[in-house]
Amino acid sequence: MVYLLSMTDYGETYSVQALAQLAGITVRTLHHYDHIGLLVPQRREGNGYRVYGPGEVLRLQQILFFRELDLPLATIKELLEDPGFDPVDALQQHRVLLRQQIDRLETLMDTIDSTIQYYREETMLSDEELYEGFSQETIDRYRREARERYGDMVDETENKLKKLSYAGWKQVQEEGRDVTLRIAALMDHNPEAQEVQEAIAAHHAWIEHFYEAPAELYRGLGTMYVEHPEFKAFYEQVREGLAEFMCAAMTYYANTTLSEF
């Protein structure tokens, strides 16, 4: 129902159709209220049309507030016609009840949000969540380029990731951001330095969330960071020269650590 009337509504007169529209109820409802004496029009025109004034608008508001409390129409009529009825006091009570209802609904909203989060954490990742933020055109291009380079490994990677929960996928993404920033912070070191190679080992472990990365593949990935414009641009946004630094560090890691396997 609408019935949130502004102060300007109280100084006008309304036909039954206009008042019904204003209050968000039906003309039939107003006819019924008139019939039982709950809301009688201010006057009737010569043609029988009902006309409602400011007093009726305010009374209708009270009626509709009481209806929100599921009070029977007969009880509402008794309350409004009680000589001791105070409309201001009634409105203040309505306000208290509305605040309680708002608090209850906000609690329900929090419960729903928690339940949604639970399901998202427990259910497997969807295609939309896996490629969140990318247009379909970009997704198709990435898949096509990856298949040209890696073949069936693309489908294997997607299937592996889709077994993750939404929360698990977010954790993988956060891990990738952290290890990238860690490597970027070490760019004043030699790519072969122990601190850098330890960070690269963490990067290699992160890559293996997606697919196994033996020496040749990991070395090729480092080269792609430099040669692929979008990959290079991504790392250059983190820190200028990061793509080349990572390529050198990844190549050294592949040649020394991964070649042992």
Same domain, 110 and 196: no
Residue scoring higher pLDDT (134 or 89)? 89
State yes or no: pLDDT of 117 exceeds 50: yes
- Reported as a pLDDT band with limits 50, 70 and 90, residue 111 is confident
**Residue 1 is assigned to a structural domain of this protein:** no
Same domain, 149 and 102: no
- Reported as a pLDDT band with limits 50, 70 and 90, residue 160 is confident
CATH assignment at residue 205? 1.10.490.50
Minimum mean pLDDT range among 50-64, 147-161, 164-178, 245-259: 147-161
**pLDDT for the residue numbered 142:** 60
Which residue is it, tokens 């006008």?
12
Same domain, 177 and 249: yes
**pLDDT for the residue numbered 7:** 43
What's the structural domain count of the chain?
4
State pLDDT tens for residues 10-46. 567 899 999 999 888 999 999 999 999 999 999 998 8
How high does pLDDT run on average in the chain?
83
Please provide the DSSP assignment of the chain as one string. ------GGGGGS-EEHHHHHHHHT--HHHHHHHHHTTSS--SEE-TT--EEE-HHHHHHHHHHHHHHHTT--HHHHHHHHH-TT--HHHHHHHHHHHHHHHHHHHHHHHHHHHHHHHHHHHHSBPPHHHHTTT--HHHHHHHHHHHHHHHTTHHHHHHHHHTTSBHHHHHHHHHHHHHHHHHHHTTTTS-TTSHHHHHHHHHHHHHHTTTS---HHHHHHHHHHHHHSHHHHHHHHHHSTTHHHHHHHHHHHHHHHTGGG-
Tokens of 211: 């697919």
Same domain, 159 and 174: no
**pLDDT for the residue numbered 119:** 62
Same domain, 237 and 211: yes
Considering 135, 163, 191, which residue would you say is the last residue of a domain?
A: 163
Q: Are strands 43-44 and 14-15 parallel, antiparallel or unpaired?
A: unpaired
Same domain, 222 and 195: yes
Same domain, 194 and 254: yes
Same domain, 177 and 254: yes
**pLDDT for the residue numbered 230:** 87
Same domain, 57 and 38: yes
* Mean pLDDT confidence for 100-116: 80
State pLDDT tens for residues 170-217. 888 899 999 999 999 999 999 999 999 999 999 999 988 888 888 998
| Among 80-84, 225-229, 244-248, the range of highest mean pLDDT | 244-248
Q: Provide the percentage of residues in the chain whose pLDDT is more than 90.
A: 41
- Reported as a pLDDT band with limits 50, 70 and 90, residue 255 is very high
**pLDDT for the residue numbered 129:** 61
Tokens of 144: 């096509």
* Mean pLDDT confidence for 49-66: 90
* Mean pLDDT confidence for 130-150: 66
Same domain, 12 and 58: yes
Separation CA 19–CA 14 (nearest Å)? 6
State the residue range of the domain holding 238: 165-260
What is the pTM assigned to this prediction?
Answer: 0.49
* Mean pLDDT confidence for 212-230: 90
State yes or no: pLDDT of 145 exceeds 80: no
Tokens of 27: 């003309």
State yes or no: pLDDT of 69 exceeds 50: yes
- Reported as a pLDDT band with limits 50, 70 and 90, residue 115 is low
**pLDDT for the residue numbered 8:** 46
Separation CA 76–CA 64 (nearest Å)? 10
**Residue 234 is assigned to a structural domain of this protein:** yes
